[in-house]
Amino acid sequence: MNKLPLEGIRIADCTQAWAGPHCTQHLADLGAEVIKVEPPYGATRGDRKATAGVYPDLNPGSRPWNRHTIFNVLNRNKLGVSLNLNKDEGKRLFKELVKVSDIVIDNYAAGVMDRLGLGYEELRKVKPDIIVASCNGYGPSGPWVRYHSYGVVQEPMCGYMALTGYADEEIPYRSGVDHIDPVTGTHLAGVLIGALLHRKRTGEGQQINISMMESAINFVGPAILDYTINGRSLEHKGNRHLQEAMAPHGCYRCRGEDEWITIAVGSDEEWENFCRVIGNPSWTQEKRFTYLYNRLQHQDELDRLVEGWTMEKDKYEAMHLLQNAGVAAGAVLNMAELFDDPHLKERGFWQTIEHPEAGKMNLIGPRYQMSDTPAPTLKPAPLFGQHTDYVFKGQLGMNEVEVAKAIEGGVIFKGEVADPKGA
């Protein structure tokens, strides 16, 4: 009863940036032993390079590789080693790690692990029941298999940006958050748990691939449904409801500087509740506002009148008044307000840890609570090469001389950053 669900599962984690590390963060939080296998610092690929540029107090310090904020946030609860997979000895040691692991995961471009000689077919030779997962932009096949991918590229290609923008402008807008990365990582975490259950029943491992583009398309499900049923492509509507099923539906100014609230009214009952909260002014009884269809035809005027009420209220006051009457409403929170939010505080959402070189960090806790499983204790992300001895000596059985020789030969990197030439 005191164990986390994935305790005893070991993962060789070759991921970088956001999608892959987000996946393994979920699995580490659930108790898996995640061993992050990094290339030499400064090599072409590498998570510490991919996430560089943000440091505590904007100060990289003398060892910036251990102070990257994004790396340290995404890689909590993980172990870390650095191994040169371009060298034959590095490949051999990686295969030794695979022998004592359950899952291997990467989010390199399609085909990278195969070209390194570390693809699924090769790894299953050393461990027949290994589960090998890859996460990349477009999957392992198809005409775009070699194309590069970032969040700002995925949002238009999955149809998302065709829906985002102002109603009176043709220019699409990105969301402002590369949310496709964490969503893809979360999808992959769920699939990997399914693969572990399959292996437990059958004894068989398997290869898994998840495409960010295909994962992202779930965001536009209603638009796809509208197209398949009605044959129309939805257009930019700003903050208004895409399927024209709610009005009022938008973001409205509140009292104070740059203070806002969002309001969404769907049913006739919600409209009646909304009208009651705002005092049943005479305009709410006008024919143009009495039914959803009529309100949809007069949204400009409706929004102006709704904002006349919200501008007299503090955003929290307006939110509580509406929510207590059964009307969906949410204050627009900035980052400082998120960290001070009483609801999140009471649920223990924010957790503080001490990183040995980056200092105190406020982290998002697990996104779930389980009644009979203990919450994980968050541990800081690994320092560069921190767990060299644990992995190579403790798990792979290498002795002091063998590890020292591998370090000298540019196969293993430990502690201080080494010159990555030949990586």
What is the rounded distance in angstroms from the CA atom of residue 136 to the CA atom of residue 41? 22
Characterize the bridge pairing of strands 103-106 and 131-136: parallel
Measured distance between the N- and C-terminal CA atoms of the chain, rounded to whole angstroms: 45
- CATH number at 266 reads 3.30.1540.10
Count of the separate structural domains present in the chain: 2
What are the residues facing 12 on neighbouring strands?
35, 104
Does residue 65 sit in the same domain as residue 146? yes
Give catalytic status of residue 300 as yes or no. no
Cis check: omega of the bond before 382, within 30 degrees of 0 = no
Q: Measuring CA to CA, which residue among 80, 81, 87, 52 is closest to residue 68?
A: 52
The residues, any chain, with a CB within 8 Å of residue 95's CB and separated by 6 or more, are: 118, 123, 126
228 belongs to a structural domain: no
Domain that holds residue 407: 10-217+346-413
Residues 195 and 325 both lie in one domain: no
DSSP letter string, 243-266 = TS--SSEEEEE-SSTT-EEEEE--
Sequential pLDDT tens for the chain (423 residues): 578 999 999 999 999 988 999 999 999 999 999 999 999 876 556 678 766 678 898 898 888 889 989 999 999 999 999 999 999 999 999 999 999 999 999 998 888 999 999 999 999 999 999 999 999 988 888 898 888 887 778 888 888 888 888 877 888 888 878 888 999 999 999 999 999 999 999 999 999 999 999 988 888 888 888 889 888 888 788 888 887 889 999 999 999 999 999 999 999 999 999 999 999 999 999 999 989 999 999 999 999 999 999 999 999 999 999 999 999 999 999 999 999 999 999 998 999 999 999 999 989 888 888 888 888 889 999 999 999 999 999 999 999 999 999 999 999 998 765 443 333
Report the C-alpha gap between 32 and 24 in whole angstroms: 9
Q: Is residue 320 located within the same domain as residue 184? A: no
pLDDT confidence of residue 410? 93
* Distances in whole angstroms, Cα of residue 410 to Cα of each of 81, 89, 328, 406: 13, 10, 58, 6
Residue carrying structure tokens 């590890």: 403
Closest CA to 303 of 359, 238, 212, 257: 238
- CA separation for the pair 308, 387 (Å, rounded): 60
Residues 146 and 96 in one domain: yes
DSSP 391: I
Of 331, 359, 384, the domain-final residue? 331
Q: Is residue 226 part of a domain?
A: no
Q: 16 — phi, psi (to 5°)?
A: -150, 170
- Taking residue 286's Cβ as centre, other Cβ atoms within 10 Å add up to 13
Q: Residue 190 contacts by C-beta under 8 Å, 6 or more apart in sequence?
A: none
Residue 62 belongs to a domain with what CATH number? 3.40.50.10540
Number of H helices, E strands in the chain: 19, 12
Its sign, for the CA torsion 263, 269, 273, 275, is positive
Mark whether 315 and 368 lie in a shared domain: no
| DSSP secondary structure letter of residue 240 | S
Helix pair 19-29, 180-202: axis angle to 10 deg: 50
- Do 322 and 378 fall into the same domain? no
Q: What is the pLDDT of residue 423?
A: 34
Among all chains, which residue has been given the structure tokens 């149809």?
159
Per-residue confidence (pLDDT) for residue 45, from 0 to 100:
60
pLDDT of residue 1: 58
Angle at 191 between CA 186 and CA 195, to 5 degrees: 145
**CA–CA dist 66, 121 (Å, integer):** 34
- Would you say 297 and 287 are in contact if contact means Cβ atoms under 8 Å apart? no
Phi then psi dihedrals of residue 149, to 5 deg: -145, 130
- From 13, 106, 181, 303, the catalytic residue: 181
Using a 10 angstrom Cβ sphere, with 0-12 exposed, 13-18 middle and 19 or more buried, the burial of residue 243 is exposed
Q: Do residues 47 and 87 share a domain?
A: yes
Helix (H, G, I), strand (E, B) or coil at 102: coil
In-domain check, residue 144: yes
